[in-house]
Amino acid sequence: MAVRTLSEFLSSTREKDLSADAFELESPHLLEVRVNGLVWAKAGSMVARKGAVKFTRQGILEQGLGTLLKKMVSGEGLQLMKIEGQGRAYLADAGKQVTLLRLAGESIFVNGNDVLAFETGIESKITMMRRVAGMLSGGLFNMRLSGHGIVAITSHYEPLTLPVSAQGGPVFTDPNATVAWSGTLTPEIVTDMSLGTLVGRGSGETLQLKFAGEGWVVVQPYEEVTFQAKG
């Protein structure tokens, strides 16, 4: 990379104000949130702030007793925080790429570890895949996001969206590489012992997610080990 003068560096890395939305990408890996009230974000994701902004860890019962019980049973590590007040907060998650999605009444499912932030117009609910208990240590929990507003999700490197249709047949993915999928799909855990050690080093090798129906699924070119198969 060519050497830059100090003024060139400051100019090229200065924060942008190109959008009127509350969420704006300052870079592919850094999200700026213009806080005017309340925003939910992944706990520990703040890298900088300015203005009268307060951060509060999510209360133990703020998402309901059912969510609390799921976290207790699964050991789910996802923690949210409230960002409140007037000002700006800058969020990132281990250098992962940030993608902004505007929901207009739709619903999506996101791997709990890949939720970075969402506006208050978005409803969130932790869900667990059926038939998963006993197969994966810690279970396989995700977050259902629906409503109206902007959602920020993360991925390692550039994500890929695969269409799912009855005509094209089911799509199978590595659970540790699966980022999100449409609210119209209900994946199930399947095993394929014939794969041996050829696929999915981090997900127990033979465990996969099967998506069938009509919708889409987003994968990343990286296996993020957030849960493991019981051996």
- What pLDDT score was predicted for residue 185? 95
More confident residue, 164 or 133: 164
Q: What is the pLDDT of residue 203?
A: 45
Q: Check if the beta carbon of residue 119 is closer than 8 Å to that of residue 37.
A: no
Mean pLDDT of the chain: 83
Q: Note the pLDDT of residue 194.
A: 63
Per-residue pLDDT at 199: 55
Looking at 64-78, 126-140, 149-163, 205-219, which range is the least confident one? 64-78
Model confidence at 59, in pLDDT bands (50, 70, 90)?
Answer: low
d(CA 144, CA 109): 5
| Burial profile 124-155: b = 16 or more Cβ within 10 angstroms, e = fewer | bbbeebeebeebbeebbbbbebbbebbbbbbb
User: How confident is the model at residue 74, as a pLDDT?
Assistant: 40
- CATH number for 20-229: choose from 3.30.60.50, 3.60.160.10, 3.40.50.1260, 3.30.1180.20: 3.60.160.10
